[in-house]
Homo-oligomer: A and B are copies of this chain.
Amino acid sequence: MADTEARGLYLDDLHVGDSYRTADYVVSEPAILAFGAQFDPQVFHLDAEAATGTFFGGLAASGWHTAAITMNLLVTSGLPFADGLIGAGAELSWPTATRPGDVLHAEAAITQITPSRSRPDRGIVTVESRTLTADGEERQRLVACMVVFRRDATLTPR
């Protein structure tokens, strides 16, 4: 969080159209298998050979793994919100599956900013993000609604 804090932006600082490009993230086969074993134990996420006979035609990352990698990218090199990335909700789709060896990055843009009527210290910021391979193949689309605070907000637990 140190980096986020150093660059930290508040609701007051954001504008519709602001855009961000994250660093790259290499997706390894062991990482796909480990995530699959822990969270999505289906043959197409667990066994490269057996996966050839499935819908995916080979080993594929869980969509939730792609989502988690995207969050890592947005947190560590994407969206520099001062109080962190706090999601209220999200819409996801996975046009294609992440594969071993993919080098992913995310491109994100702020598409809407809605100040809270009931809580003037914060707003909801809509961020649209695409997770892409080095070849531009789209692995995930994400529309996330995030809680972002004003510079003078006093953070208190909800």
Contacts and interface: CB of A to CB of B under 8 A. Distances in A.
Contact of A56 (B65, B76, B157): B157
A123 B2 CA distance: 46
A68 to B, nearest CB: 4
A89 interface: yes
A117 interface: no
B76 A39 contact: no
A86 interface: yes
A67 to B, nearest CB: 6
Interface string A48-76: 00000111111000111101110110011
Contacts of A116: none
Overall SS of chain A's interface: mixed
Contacts of A44: 84
Contact of A71 (B39, B58, B84): B39
B43 A84 contact: yes
A84, A88, A155 — most chain B CB neighbours (10 Å): A84
